[in-house]
Amino acid sequence: MYNFEFVRPSSVADAVAALADEDAMALGGGQTLLPTMKARLAAPTKLVSLSGIDGLSYVKTGGDSVEIGGATVHADVAAEVADAFPALAALVARIGDPAVRNRGTIGGSVANNDPAACYPAAVLATGGTIVTDKREIAAEDFFQGMFATALEAGEIITAVRFPVPQAAHYEKFAQPASRFPLVGIFVARFASGVRVAVTGASESGVFRWTEAETALSSDFSADVVEGLTPSADGLIGDLHGTPTYRANMIRVMTARAVAAAG
């Protein structure tokens, strides 16, 4: 590790001011950023910790939505949304390992937008909203490709808001070592229709499988999914599987998610 300045502001305004410095980076739980720095793939001159900011770690449930503060660690999310949004709690409970779940934050995960992260699938499938110190951003506009988001330089995620579906389930085919999904599917059924988000499979990050959404909105059953053929175009091909393999896994995992969601 190399020398850098570490600051721990007590307010969002102070954090934004600190991030205005050249080469400053926000630090949530550090589960991605610190290993990246150790590998010399990132070299910020200043780390701005968000963990000391009052009011950024909370879970609010009620009505038809769940709002989670940006600095809330995964373990707290899993525990506190278990009754209000069990599908989200189940997703979070399988992120990484206990060390990751007790340090990593929802804001850090969503801001990083790893193409195999679990949270983006839930945010996109529910039509969630990312709240920052400047504005509110719809999920459809927020995720813009691999590690790319609508966040501007120095913009901080203060909360993530999820509409709670009538039924939902997250199905994850995990790589055993990393616990990241090779394919992850979040299915959410609302009165207005069904949304299906796919993570882990695409070179461009999380995306919606609109063909399945249309079919499932008419008939919410696993049998409907079995008759669909996802495209392999743009899907990841690596030592774990070809694009065609991942396309088939999208179909299989979506059918399982629908069956589990009921």
Residue ranges covered by each domain of the chain: 5-49, 59-163, 167-261
Helical spans, DSSP H, in the chain? 12-19, 33-38, 74-80, 86-93, 98-103, 106-112, 119-126, 139-142, 210-218, 222-226, 243-261
**Residue 35, pLDDT score:** 82
Residue 137 backbone dihedrals phi, psi, to 5 degrees: -125, 125
The architecture of the domain spanning 167-261 is: 2-Layer Sandwich (3.30)
* Orientation angle between helical segments 119-126 and 86-93, nearest 10 degrees: 160
Rounded distance between C-alpha atoms, residue 235 and residue 233, angstroms: 6
Instruction: List the strands of the sheet with 129-132, edge to edge.
Output: 59-62, 65-69, 157-163, 129-132, 136-138
Rounded distance between C-alpha atoms, residue 158 and residue 142, angstroms: 14
Rounded distance between C-alpha atoms, residue 216 and residue 223, angstroms: 10
Which CATH fold topology does 59-163 show?
Answer: 3.30.465
Helical spans, DSSP H, in 119-242? 119-126, 139-142, 210-218, 222-226
**Residue 32, pLDDT score:** 83
Instruction: From 195, 87, 189, 205, select the one nearest 149 (Cα to Cα).
Output: 205
**Residue 1, pLDDT score:** 61
Rounded distance between C-alpha atoms, residue 26 and residue 46, angstroms: 9
Q: Is residue 18 within 8 Å of 12, Cβ to Cβ?
A: no
**Residue 63, pLDDT score:** 84
Could you tell me whether strands 181-190 and 157-163 are parallel, antiparallel, or unpaired per DSSP bridges? unpaired
pLDDT in tens, the chain (262 residues): 678 899 999 999 999 999 998 889 898 988 888 888 888 888 888 999 998 898 999 999 988 999 999 999 999 999 999 999 999 999 999 999 999 999 999 999 999 999 999 999 999 999 999 999 999 999 999 999 999 999 999 999 999 999 999 999 999 999 888 888 999 999 999 999 999 999 999 999 999 999 999 999 999 999 999 999 999 999 999 999 999 999 999 999 999 999 999 8
Give the right CATH number for 5-49 from 2.40.100.10, 3.30.70.980, 3.40.30.10, 3.30.43.10: 3.30.43.10
CB-based burial, 162-184: b 16+ in 10 Å, e otherwise: bbbbeebbbbbbbeeeeebbbbb
